[in-house]
Amino acid sequence: MLITLYGINNIGKSTHAKRLVERLKAEGHDAVYVKYPVYDVEPTGTYLNAFLRSGSAQEISEEELQMWFILNRYQFEPKLREWLKFGRIVVAEDYIGTGIAWGTVKGADSEWLESMNKNLIQEDLAILIDGERAMDAVEEGHLHETNLDFMKRSRQVHLELGEKYEWVKVPLQDEKDDTAALIWSVVQGKLGTYVNPVKRS
């Protein structure tokens, strides 16, 4: 099963993706965490890591930038497919929907973004964590995180895409344990009905 966690930056996706993996393992599942973009994939990951943290304004088109993200997903897909084939539950922090959301925010055509990502493995369960971001977690010099207007628009686009793609929305709670409990409830409901099409084929 491929589970994705979506949401704006600094909303707690890393924390909750990793907590979910630990909960799945504790319940006897073979689970693994991955964060997109995958920075240790060459050459796309290295490029994106340097680009996003350069501290400089974006000088390439949004379409070109999104192609780097898309290629990064395609480059990592053999590993993802291998994990799924052997029955692992993959919890991904960000994935296709993140690219569509940010590309849309920054002016790329959403239909083009969808078409460029359509041949990638699709998630089995997408969870959208929605709430106010933690401003003390903002990474200085990051291309997106310090742009408040972009982040506000990004939240709205994530909500719109969540409706369109039927992502399960989980409201961010004051306590991390409460948010984690809501996420686990969603995942637990999915686990009982899931058949792995990659493993089956």
Question: Is the pLDDT score of 173 beyond 80?
Answer: yes
Q: What is the mean pLDDT of residues 104-123?
A: 96
pTM of the model: 0.88
Q: What integer best gives the mean pLDDT of the chain?
A: 91
Q: Which helix (H) or strand (E) holds 161?
A: helix 148-165
* pLDDT tier at 15, thresholds 50, 70, 90: very high
Distance, CA of 192 to CA of 20 (rounded, Å) = 16
Q: What are the pLDDT digits (tens) for 131-150?
A: 987 755 555 655 565 667 88
Rounded to whole angstroms, how far apart are CA atoms 54 and 181?
A: 37
Please report the pLDDT score of residue 145 as a whole number.
57
Q: Which residue has the higher pLDDT, 200 or 141?
A: 141
Radius of gyration of the chain (CA): 16
Strands 125-130 and 2-6: parallel
CATH superfamily of 2-195: P-loop containing nucleotide triphosphate hydrolases (3.40.50.300)
Nearest to 107 by CA among 168, 150, 148: 150
Pairwise CA distance, residues 73 & 81, whole Å: 12
Torsional class of 196: left (φ above 0), alpha (ψ -120 to 50), beta (otherwise)? beta
Q: Tally helices (H) and strands (E) across the chain.
A: 8, 5
Q: Is pLDDT above 90 for 58?
A: no
Query: For residue 109, what are its two tokens?
Result: 């055509």
Percent of the chain with pLDDT over 90: 78
Phi-psi region of 131 (alpha: psi -120 to 50; beta: other; left: phi over 0): left
pLDDT in tens, 174-199: 999 999 999 999 999 999 776 665 55
Q: What is the mean pLDDT of residues 80-102?
A: 96
Q: What angle do CA 183, 184, 187 make, to 5 degrees?
A: 90
In the structure encoding, which two tokens stand for residue 197, read together?
Answer: 């099409």
